[in-house]
Amino acid sequence: MPDTEGKLEAKNFYPEISPKREAFFLKGSAALDWGMQNRLARIFNPASGRTVMLALDHGYFQGPTTGLERIDLTIVPLLPYANALMLTRGILRSTIPPAFTGGVVLRASGGPSILKELSNEQIAVDIEDCVRLNVNAMAVQVFVGGEFETQSIHNLTRLVDAGNRYGIPTLGVTAVGKTLTRDARYLRLACRICAELGAQVVKTYYVSEGFETVTASCPVPVVMAGGKKMPELDALQMAYNAVSQGAAGVDMGRNVFQSEAPAAMIQAVGKVVHESMKPEHAYDFYQTFRHEKKDVEVAAGPSSRSL
């Protein structure tokens, strides 16, 4: 029923209180549209401004990677501890329960396998499928200095254009070829190019010297890539250093799912990322958790744990 004029006095319009103007919590994201900000808020925890993203997209160029042979058994039990997943649409559709409510960062480039030149990637998904899958961002590899540098940057800009039409952010992933030096100077160049050309988020490697200059010179959030498996304390230390030096979280794969205790490890990473817990304390947490609660109960099967 529409209001009648006589009842208007009963309403309270709070004319003396101005609506709050709240800045969006991620750097460089204030001018983005609501849908894009909302998608980013499902990848990054609005309370800490950071993310623990679990990378499991390795199969898109290297097949069944160690630890990812049975994603249903080894990764699905970890989903409650990840803010977001980075993965392919094949694994998303075939293996990830649709009741997963965290962020989905879809691998959107691909082509060559480890048997060929890796920089020769193309866009590997249509924007319509990204909308259909309700993804929160599209990830594209950018090979600055690589053989197919321009092609990979063109992949990024085309995804950014498509994403801007539908409110889906693009994550630029800086891939360092075997012949390039992985130092702050190179990463500043690669990250800045991704951001300048429209990526709303950038993923890059940690370097022990000058990482803070990489994050400072990138106008959008930088997420630290994990890299090869290392001892748990070292991985926690690297994550701690990265967030202390301006990273908006981590995107880790092998250092989680190849850990002896993946559920303990991803939660320890979460303590570092969201609570700025010192790495040695997070490592104590890891050790305690892994001994008190048996880690990922593969034997019990995926249905033994809920999302």
Contacts with ligand R5P, residue ranges (CB under 6 A): 55, 57-58, 86, 173, 225-227, 251-255
Q: Which is nearer to ligand R5P, 188 or 254 (CB)?
A: 254
Q: Which is nearer to ligand R5P, 75 or 86 (CB)?
A: 86
Q: Which is nearer to ligand R5P, 162 or 171 (CB)?
A: 171
- Between CA 307 and CA 171 the distance in angstroms is 25
Least distance CB 265 / ligand R5P (angstroms): 12
Q: Which is nearer to ligand R5P, 140 or 277 (CB)?
A: 140
> Strand, coil or helix: what is 214?
helix
- Between CA 296 and CA 307 the distance in angstroms is 13
Least distance CB 143 / ligand R5P (angstroms): 11
Per the CB < 8 A criterion, the answer to whether 199 and 170 are in contact is yes
Instruction: Note every long-range contact of 180-184, with CB atoms under 8 Å and residues 24 or more positions apart, other chains counting.
Output: 180/145, 180/146, 182/207, 183/207, 183/209, 183/210, 184/209, 184/210, 184/211, 184/213, 184/214
Q: What is the DSSP letter of 75?
A: T
Q: What residue number has its CB nearest to ligand R5P?
A: 226
Per the CB < 8 A criterion, the answer to whether 98 and 80 are in contact is no
Annotated active-site residue 203? The verdict is yes
- Between CA 271 and CA 28 the distance in angstroms is 25
Least distance CB 239 / ligand R5P (angstroms): 11
Q: Which is nearer to ligand R5P, 111 or 253 (CB)?
A: 253
Q: Which is nearer to ligand R5P, 91 or 127 (CB)?
A: 91
CA-wise closest residue to 155 among 183, 115, 182, 127: 127
Tokens of 238: 């690297």
Least distance CB 303 / ligand R5P (angstroms): 27
Least distance CB 34 / ligand R5P (angstroms): 28
Least distance CB 220 / ligand R5P (angstroms): 17
CA-wise closest residue to 244 among 266, 224, 265, 217: 224
- Between CA 96 and CA 133 the distance in angstroms is 12
- Between CA 95 and CA 90 the distance in angstroms is 8
Selected catalytic residue, list 203, 228, 293, 294: 203
Residues tagged active-site? 203
